[in-house]
Amino acid sequence: MGRNRHPNLALLPAVGDSGVMEGPNPAQPATDRYAYPPSPQPGQSPGVAETGQPTVAASGSPLWAQLVFWLSVGLIALASLALMADWTARNIEMVRMLNAIEASENQMKVAQDAILSQVPDDPRDADLADDKQLKAAAAAGRDEVAAAGEAARGLSFFPWHSELIAAQGAYLAHNQAWVDYLAAGAADPRTMFDDQDDIEPTWREAEVRVEAAVPLLPWPRINYRVNEIFANETPGGSVTAAPLPGFALMRS
């Protein structure tokens, strides 16, 4: 038989002089002895077993990218909380302002009713000028309306809530117009039945400003309350628009 009948014999371990088959040389490098990398030791990551150095996580994302991602998530969450807090604050401030406006309007209505209840059936200029009951009614209304205005003035708003601050200022101007109107009536009741040039403009300005201050996505009933306050065509319930018994006789 020839040597080429069994070519694979060359792959078998060599037989030494002692007749014992020789195994792999322990001194031979591991990369030459194995076709695959060695298994990691207990507590050792695969990357360390292969290269001796730590490797990136299996996801492949570097550490800085993960930090940027979580930082972005945190900033978005904080921004959402800030927007929610500001929305809540605007609604709370709006409700407080509407409470103050309604209280002031109620005092104007009380003053109007008290004054009208004291008007004689057949009024004359001379009689009205010295009517102590009319003067007292006007003076009492002046004080109550002024107190309601001070309550509205005491409201505070965040500096960046400019619409609410403007609405407060506009309504305070209307309240002050009523205080001046009643103060003049307390001195001379006849002035309360003249045209009131200051009440109408301040009332319309307050309407525009208060409606502009309504928050985005307002709480229930806020829009309803605003509409109810300004639904009356009479500017703040002024006496000049009320039917006065014998008013035509007084002016004749």
Residue 159: give the domain boundaries. Answer: 91-251
Dig out the tokens for 45 from the structure: 């990551």
**For the chain, what is the total number of helices (H) and then of strands (E)?**
9, 0
Q: Is the pTM of this model over 0.85?
A: no
Residue type for position 234 = T
List for the chain the helix, strand, coil content (%; round to 5): 65, 0, 35
Q: Is residue 211 part of a domain?
A: yes
Asked, for residue 173, whether it belongs to a domain, the answer is yes
- Integer CA distances (angstroms), 194 to 107, 188, 197, 204, 238, in order: 21, 11, 9, 19, 11
User: pLDDT at position 247, please?
Assistant: 40
Residue 16 lies in a domain: no
CA nearest neighbour of 192 among 123, 121, 100, 104: 123
Q: What is the mean pLDDT of the chain?
A: 79
Task: State the Cα–Cα distance between residues 154 and 148, nearest whole angstrom.
Answer: 10
- Does residue 48 belong to any structural domain of this protein? no
Nearest to 166, CA basis, from 97, 96, 89: 97
Q: What 3-state class would DSSP assign to 234? A: coil
* DSSP category for residue 2: -
Beta bridge partners of 21: 15
| Residues of the chain where predicted confidence (pLDDT) is lower than 70 | 1-60, 123-126, 232-252
- The alpha carbon torsion through 13, 19, 25, 27 (nearest 10 deg) reads -170
Is 231 a member of any domain? yes
pLDDT of residue 249: 35
The reported pLDDT for the residue numbered 83 is 87
CA 101 to chain CA centroid, Å, is: 21
Whether 111 contacts 144, CB under 8 Å: yes
Beta bridge mates, 15: 21
How many domains does one find in the chain?
1
Residue 158 belongs to a domain: yes
- 59 three-state secondary structure: coil
Compute how many other C-beta atoms are within 10 angstroms of the C-beta atom of residue 145: 26
Residue 1 lies in a domain: no
In a domain, 151, yes or no: yes
**According to the model, what pLDDT value does residue 252 have?**
36
